Amino acid sequence: MSLADKVLAVNNDLPIRTDRPVHSGKVRSVYWLTEADSRRLIEEKGYDVAPDTPLAIMVISDRISAFDCIWRGEGGMNGVPGKGAALNAISNHWFKLFREKGLADSHILDIPHPFVWIVQKAKPVMIEAICRQYITGSMWRAYDKGEREFCGIEMADDLKKDQKLPELLITPSTKGILKGIPGVPEADDVNVTRADIVNNYQAFNFTKAEDVDLYEKLLKEGFDVISDALAELDQIFVDTKFEFGYVNDKEGNEKLIYMDEVGTPDSSRIWDGETYRAGKVIEKSKEAFRQLLLSHFPDPDILLNKDRMDERQALARDNELPESVLMEVSETYLGIASKITGQKIELSDNPKAEIIEILRSEYDLVD
């Protein structure tokens, strides 16, 4: 069996019983269960949700996206071996730690397989919430060009690349295209200020104004829990993205929860502590792949300039990356996952067949 066979690249063709189209994102595919199956599972498994809550099967893949494009390798290797299992294992580890520390719940109700989550439908808060502990990446590039205000926060003049910030910064941006918010462009992923959110909280899908304070509290608590745990492993939690949403519990009470993944190499930057103290940054996250792409292609501006999106998509479509590049990414993901969870991530020979068998025999979701 070749390495390419072990990669789960296509994850929207599983025979899971659904009466709605499968939604396929950059990395995950979502199968909404029928109302009958949702109600049955809630009762059978005792999930702490309202009886009429819609449930979905979320299947991760080994696809890798960067600069808003999906990249592939030579020899039919359309993903990174072990990436999906590593991402889920890391998220599962942090969500478990959140529960142990008494933080908010997540949208995940069950984990039938390393590639699979059973999730509850949530009303998403329309914010990509970025927490930053160091100045690097896009923030540094803008700062280096002279920008001193980020999301309404004034920055000092004497900051150096990759240095620790005086305090944890929250730099939110829009999730999707939001309309009718004064001063906020109608475009996806544009930076917003705290004042924008507070003054237009309903446009961002908050139920009440005080939930903006709660979302910031959950952000900081989640960041600190992960940062402290990584520090014990001599790893630095540089920055990360959180997403939030509302759900109802069994009694019908609304609560704000964590959504999507948390603290993974896809949604965060993680640096090795020892080498950082020696003056060198070693990325333990997707940022290493982004930097690799920037050095791999002769014109990196195509990857950084949003006005050249057509060229960028052509670059991803027409270029197969060397297998060695994807294996380097694989080592990064599997390495940090093993370090965080304390367990080796085992690569499945046929993840798709395993998923189908478990969902058929233990959940009765495959006809």
Question: In the prediction, which pLDDT does 322 show?
Answer: 93
CA-CA distance, 69 to 8, in Å (whole number)? 17
3-class secondary-structure state, position 293? helix
Burial 132-149 (b: 16+ CB within 10 A, else e): bbbbbbebbebbeeeeee
Question: In the prediction, which pLDDT does 3 show?
Answer: 67
> If you average pLDDT over residues 205-214, what whole number do you get?
96
CA-CA distance, 303 to 315, in Å (whole number)? 9
pLDDT of 6 strictly over 60: yes
CA-CA distance, 334 to 306, in Å (whole number)? 31
Q: How confident is the model at residue 2 (pLDDT cuts 50, 70, 90)?
A: low
Paired sense of beta strands 254-259 and 320-321, if any: unpaired
Q: Got the DSSP string for 37-50?
A: HHHHHHHHHT-SS-
Question: In the prediction, which pLDDT does 350 show?
Answer: 87
Which domains, ranges and CATH numbers included, belong to the chain? Answer: 3-121+341-361 (3.30.200.20), 123-277 (3.30.470.20)
Q: What is the pTM of this model?
A: 0.92
* Helix (H) or strand (E) run with residue 206 in it: none
**Are 189 and 137 a contacting pair, CB within 8 Å?**
no
pLDDT of 347 strictly over 90: no
- The token duo for 6 is 């072990």
Give residue 307's identity as a one-letter amino acid code.
Answer: D
C-alpha 348 chain-centroid distance:
22
The CA distances from residue 234 to 137, 237, 274, 276, in Å, are 21, 10, 7, 10
Question: In the prediction, which pLDDT does 349 show?
Answer: 84
Give residue 224's identity as a one-letter amino acid code.
Answer: D
Quick: pLDDT tens for 111-153: 999 999 999 999 999 999 999 999 998 899 999 999 999 999 9
> If you average pLDDT over residues 299-316, what whole number do you get?
94
> If you average pLDDT over residues 284-292, what whole number do you get?
92
Give residue 215's identity as a one-letter amino acid code.
Answer: Y
- Phi first, then psi, for residue 84 (nearest 5°) are -60, -45
Please state at what angle helix 211-232 crosses helix 83-100, rounded to 10 degrees: 110
pLDDT of 252 strictly over 60: yes
Q: In the chain, what percentage of residues exceed pLDDT 70?
A: 99
Q: What is the mean pLDDT of the chain?
A: 94
Quick: pLDDT tens for 180-197: 899 899 988 899 999 999
**Are 6 and 347 a contacting pair, CB within 8 Å?**
yes
Q: Could you tell me which residues come within 8 angstroms of residue 137 by beta carbon, excluding any fewer than 6 positions away?
A: 239, 269, 287
